[in-house]
Chain A
Amino acid sequence: MRQPILRIEDLHTHFFTDRGEVPAVDGVDLVVHSGEVLGVVGESGCGKSVTSLSVLKLVPSPPGRIVGGRILLKGKDLVPLKEKEMRGIRGNSVSMIFQEPMTSLNPLFTVGQQIVETVRLHRGMSRKAARAHAVDMLQKVGIPRAEDIVDEYPHQLSGGMRQRVMIAMSISLNPELLIADEPTTALDVTIQAQILDLLRRLNEEQGTAVMLITHDLGVVAEMCDRVAVMYAGKVVEEGGVQDIFNHPLHPYTQGLIRSVPRMNEERERLYSIPGHVPVLSKEMQGCRFAPRCPHVMEVCLRSMPELTLQEELHSCRCWLHERPQEDAV
């Protein structure tokens, strides 16, 4: 069994708004092992991004705050760390890439200056060495003419190139964990494939563990070793990518998989899960998915099922798969 790099235990990140406390992340448990790609999937607003921002403690505060749980990076809890200590971790052992490559680079500085920033910040390299390093990194992420590009400004590059630059920036210190928050959503399909390829290659060659946040099951199937499905601030199903796709247990996962268009199937209309992600509040009772669930039972409306192991490395949070005898307390 591989070592866990990141272990999130019962994480609660709440937003304190005028309309009350919103539990955007409500007791999430996740593990990322070294060298693996973990996919975190779910609809918009189910807490994927907040979970990933929580890991680096970048949740905008106010209104957000981590109110409970532990985030263990190689066994060390990040939650109580001070801002200053967090800065030593960000970009160093854990780094992050974002959804919008068009806006995640500062328009006033050259690409090189921005890559160099990371290195100089953490390693205090000389200007010259840092520049050479930047060129190296650009080559590594497959940017042609790296020597020239390093002196260009973001507006001179395409979206795909900028995302490569972002990746170059985030891997320039060889982090052990790379959090990618929908890294391909803003890119067109061919570029998406190239970027995913690149991430996959980095994962294989450098052994960088990747936590890939996405709502695209196609991306998950292509990239991930394991998948965690999130719904309304909770993990509802977790398992190996094969298990999840071949026999999804949770009705939400089943719905997600049914709503992916398939080329080899003739269907009148693409399936979509009825309803919307609920507005989160602290007063919610029962299973979050119950109002949209085709198999809803009485017990679902009353209490929340636990995330239980159904088979080896495949767990699910659903009353359909609960074995009440064993779990009765």
Chain B
Amino acid sequence: MGQATVNLTPPNVPAEKVSGPWGEAWRAFRKNKTAMLGLFIIVFFVLVALLAPVIAPYGYKEQELVNRLKPPSAAHWFGTDDLGRDMFTRILYGARISLWVGFFSVIGSIIIGTLLGVLAGFYGRWIDMLVSRCFDILLAFPSILLAIAVVAILGPSLRNALLAIAIVNIPTYGRLVRAKVLSLKSEEYITAARAIGMKNSRILFTHILPNSLTPIIVQGTLGIATAIIEAAALGFLGLGAQPPDPEWGKMLSDSRQFIQKAPWTVIFPGLSIMLTVLGFNLMGDGLRDVLDPRMKN
């Protein structure tokens, strides 16, 4: 019977290039225009952040007190702030801070959240009870309030703001992973893996974790946007970055008294926050379309 099937395949047709599920996803992602726009925005800001010292015409701490609150000009593209610092330079360096906080807080919450979620989902019983109730408690607080509380305990600084944001977002990832693991556990290939004599820990790492990656990636991308906003909010409240760090939220709050006299001191940081967040949101939505099988046609 195998013979009959062999003849059905013309021998000289080149076999379709084998691409894994990830290659497939990338192909679909490339076709999604808004998602690609998001990716370009992100790449743009990443480049800006990396190259800040090269591009920036001034130092971000450099003050020219004679040139305070000057409107945009050839010398100062985005104008200057109340201490005569170049806004353009500070926006460039600000990209570093925002992206850094965004990435690392999300990575932190993903690592801890995934660990707890897998424990709860895979081993169940009392571990699940314990972990899930902890998540519920964390989720009962409004996130920004909880972050403020954490920073208040640890002391205001950029690093502590990052920690606070990471802690606050752990339950989001934890619940996501737990739900995914629970549904994966009843998949037949997990039983099949058991039936060939695979250990629990091995099943966890080769079957369950890789298969629960997609929702984490989607949520993580969207989560970076949220984390950037939260960092800006903490900065605005004076609980995040401390002067003279050019954090965008902090820049907003420092300049808000000059909003009528020198609107550029508020507009540019605000615009930067908006653009980066937009970029991550667009890309996150695109990833969801591509990676979430329920949305696939």
Contacts from A to B (Cβ < 8 Å): 56, 58, 86-92, 95-96, 98-100, 103-110, 117-118, 121-122, 139, 142-145, 148, 151-153, 155-156, 166, 169-170, 194, 197-198
Contact = CB atoms under 8 A, between A and B. Distances in A.
Given A100-B188, A106-B189, A153-B21, A121 B5 contact: no
Interface in B197-247: 197-199, 206-207, 210-211
Contact of B1 (A108, A122, A197): A197
B1 A142 contact: yes
Contacts of A145: 6, 9, 15
B122 to A, nearest CB: 13
Contacts of B191: 58, 98, 104
B153 interface: no
B197 A90 contact: yes
B15 A117 contact: no
A144 B196 contact: no
Contacts of A100: 188
B230 to A, nearest CB: 33
Contact of A90 (B2, B5, B187, B195): B195
10 contacts: A86-B197, A90-B194, A103-B188, A106-B189, A106-B211, A108-B21, A110-B18, A144-B5, A194-B1, A197-B1
Given A98-B191, A108-B20, 10 more contacts: A90-B195, A91-B197, A103-B189, A104-B188, A117-B206, A122-B197, A144-B2, A144-B5, A169-B192, A198-B1
A153 B187 contact: no
Given A104-B189, A108-B20, A145-B9, A91 B210 contact: no
Given A98-B188, A194-B1, A152 B197 contact: no
10 smallest beta-carbon distances between A and B, as pairs? A142-B2, A91-B196, A90-B197, A91-B197, A104-B188, A144-B6, A96-B195, A87-B197, A103-B188, A104-B192
Contacts of B18: 110, 148, 151-153, 156
Given A106-B207, A144-B6, A153-B21, A117 B196 contact: yes
A122 B18 CA distance: 29
A294 to B, nearest CB: 38
Interface of B: 1-2, 5-6, 8-9, 15-16, 18, 20-21, 187-189, 191-199, 206-207, 210-211
Contacts of A153: 18, 20-21
A197 B3 CA distance: 14
Max chain A Cβ within 10 angstroms of own Cβ: one of B9, B188, B206: B188
A156 B16 CA distance: 10
Contacts of B2: 139, 142-144
A105 B189 contact: yes
A207 B20 CA distance: 37
B195 A108 contact: no
A56 B188 contact: no
Tell which of B9, B187, B194 has the most Cβ of chain A within 10 Å: B194
Given A96-B195, A108-B21, A169-B196, A148 B15 contact: yes
Contacts of A117: 193, 196, 198, 206
A58 B211 contact: no
Contacts of B196: 90-91, 95, 117-118, 121, 169-170
A87 B199 CA distance: 7
A328 to B, nearest CB: 45
A194 B3 CA distance: 12
A143 B189 CA distance: 21
Contacts of B194: 56, 58, 90
A108 B293 CA distance: 13
B211 A142 contact: no
A99 B196 CA distance: 16
Contacts of B188: 98-100, 103-104
B197 A92 contact: yes
Nearest to B22: A108
Contacts of A122: 197
A166 B195 CA distance: 11
A109 B9 CA distance: 24
Given A103-B188, A105-B189, A58 B5 contact: no
A148 B18 CA distance: 9
Nearest to B124: A62
A103 B211 CA distance: 13
A26 B191 CA distance: 23
B21 A107 contact: yes
A64 to B, nearest CB: 13
